[in-house]
Structure 1
């Protein structure tokens, strides 16, 4: 528990530094591109259009998901947070390994590197979120009191991503193959999390319940429940408790491993 508290204190203390580094990295990544940071928006928009054409019109024939909820609304509510989650997980996994030699010469803790990845992806996420809400308003999606629940799921998503990324970033330094395994796993989870198809309509209840062990499904279903299905998170208390237990487990194991090995990270690279 002491390691967890140490890591959390480091996140609070070095928050201004995380923001400055994330802004610098954003500019550095796109400085040689004519459209610059606009590519962070164009790439997901192109992918959304492709998925909608293939899975919306091609396979479903533009049928609704449930009642008045169209496939486009349903897909957007899941795929927008997925793009953010996927980018943070994959980039965060290598966040310590890629900067180990640089960080070892500077005076700030390595535990903030996964959080820098989260901060650097927030701008594109909020822009995509604004586009999604704009489409909802154009299509006449009802605005309900359940929309305030977005705050809860956003906080849950950030906590999970930090815990998961800290664990993955630490293990990747120790076991390099971990990053490649996780990259393949995220490709599989895109379909098993139900981003582009409604899993309950395709699988029996017992198979769906097994897939719900994936904590990412809790987040994706949560955003859909918030904007489209009008369901509160406390209506599924056991599922909510399970999600936070998994998040706490990743944080505890990740912080313990990180504090145990970070003085020797350079030796593993």
Structure 2
């Protein structure tokens, strides 16, 4: 600002401020401002997510407890539900449709129950992932936290539910003549790989479901089709005997079938390696890495858009 005098009058001249001509983005950068809710870089996002690990575990446990809080049998429904499903499938497919043909009687029941329990793990993770964001908008809009915490916690919830069911599964397996052996330890890496696959799939479905809530109505039909194509209640090689071999190869290589076959092989004495697809462990690791990594990145890409609109 400067003062000049003309015939006794004072004229005040204002100098333009130093920020004149800068765009809003340039001004924000100059004064260290950032967009509220902006997506952090991937390494920072992973760091934030690790910092919320206790919340993820606590949230999954709370959801698991609340799921059956109003039922008289409570947590027992975690085991009763898949057992009832297995019983229905045994009556319809095993006895009426004869899908157990070619599988010894002492193998078919643990074969079927294992398939139902393991596929339910993936199915429930996908279904809960679809609603992870759209069903928790109040939480998403009220608090600032990595949104990936929600689908990951739902996948973890389903893993905990499966572990409860595994107790009953092991009893059934032993009742039909398969007793503990070193091969049972293979269940651990198989379930870890399946968890990472389920988590990635839940993250993908969470992003898609956040913008398309109607997806939750469509997914039961997709999951049912997937179940029938994965050999839950029948042996794919036996059922497709006489058909072009590539059809059985494709169906056995699908991730749901891969993880089911690995756990069946680990637990059931009469289910030998000849029932497994070629390079089965490579397939299991590949599916887990593919969906785990791509699902996480795909979800992170839309981080700043969750809960808006």
Q: How far did 1:122 drift?
A: 3.1
Which residue does the alignment assign to 1:182? Answer: 219
Structure 2 residue 164 is the aligned partner of structure 1 residue 127: yes
User: Quick check: 122-131 or 151-160, which moved more?
Assistant: 122-131
Q: How far did 1:215 drift?
A: 1.4
Q: How far did 1:108 drift?
A: 2.4
Unmatched segments (≥5 aa) in structure 1: none
Which residue does the alignment assign to 2:266? Answer: 226
CA contact (8 A) 1:164 1:247 kept: no
CA contact (8 A) 1:26 1:120 kept: yes
| Equivalent residue in structure 1 for 2:257, among 212, 217, 231 | 217
Unmatched segments (≥5 aa) in structure 2: 1-39
| Equivalent residue in structure 2 for 1:160, among 197, 202, 211 | 197
Q: How far did 1:34 drift?
A: 2.2
Q: How far did 1:104 drift?
A: 2.5
Structure 2 residue 120 is the aligned partner of structure 1 residue 94: no
What are the residue-to-residue correspondences of 1:112-151 with 2, within 5 Å?
A: 112-151=149-188
Q: Distance in 2 between matches of 1:235 and 1:62?
A: 20
Q: How far did 1:242 drift?
A: 4.1
Flag the structure with more relative contact order, 1 or 2, with Cα contacts below 8 A and sequence separation at least 6: 1
- Kindly report the root-mean-square deviation, in angstroms, between the aligned alpha carbons of the 2 structures: 2.8
Compared CA separation, residues 63 and 252, structure 1 to 2 (3 A): closer
Compared CA separation, residues 121 and 202, structure 1 to 2 (3 A): same
Compared CA separation, residues 139 and 249, structure 1 to 2 (3 A): closer
CA contact (8 A) 2:121 2:162 kept: yes
SS of the residue corresponding to residue 282 of structure 2 reads helix
Question: TM-score, normalising length from structure 2?
Answer: 0.75
Higher helix share: 1
Compared CA separation, residues 80 and 117, structure 1 to 2 (3 A): same
Compared CA separation, residues 16 and 184, structure 1 to 2 (3 A): same
Of structures 1 and 2, the larger Rg is shown by 2
| Equivalent residue in structure 1 for 2:70, among 22, 28, 32 | 32
Structure 2 residue 282 is the aligned partner of structure 1 residue 241: yes
Q: Deviations over 1:58-105 (max 9, x none)?
A: 233965615x75210211221111122211111112111211331221
Q: Distance in 2 between matches of 1:113 and 1:154?
A: 20
Number of residues of Structure 1 aligned to a counterpart in Structure 2: 265
Which residue does the alignment assign to 1:108? Answer: 145
